[in-house]
Amino acid sequence: MLAVCVDFEIDPASLDAFLIIIQNNASDSLANEVGCHQFDITQDPQNPTKIFLYELYDDAFAFEVHKKASHYLEFNQLASEMVTAKSVRLLQKINH
């Protein structure tokens, strides 16, 4: 499994709109992508403009499919004006 960890810093004026579109992206990913198994959205209670995503995919191919999905492309376009910083880490999940 491939874990995708994404840190966002959101423009405070856009936070409410961002939360709506990221929740839609997560729901669509889980409902429509066979290779997407988890899509958690978390928020820093001390700094609500910091959003962290934890996503699990079958493999790198499933993540590439995600990045080509229409709901992701729409999210990415809408979010581009709202995000002030973003970092992505790809990690292999260790099964035990």
* pLDDT digits 0-9 by tens, 2-46: 999 999 999 999 999 999 999 999 999 999 999 999 999 999 999
Whether residue 92 has pLDDT greater than 90: yes
Taking CA atoms, 56 is separated from 9, 23, 31, in Å, by 21, 16, 14
CATH 2.30.110.10 fits 2-92, yes or no: no
Which pLDDT value is given to residue 90? 97
Which pLDDT value is given to residue 95? 77
Does this model's pTM top 0.85? My answer is yes
Q: What is the arithmetic mean of pLDDT over 50-59?
A: 97
Q: Average model confidence (pLDDT) for the chain?
A: 96
Q: What is the arithmetic mean of pLDDT over 56-81?
A: 95
Token digits of residue 34: 């066979």
Which pLDDT value is given to residue 71? 94
Which pLDDT value is given to residue 96? 74
Which residues have a Cβ under 8 Å from the Cβ of 31 and sit 6 or more positions away? none
Residue 94's pLDDT band, with cuts at 50, 70 and 90, is confident
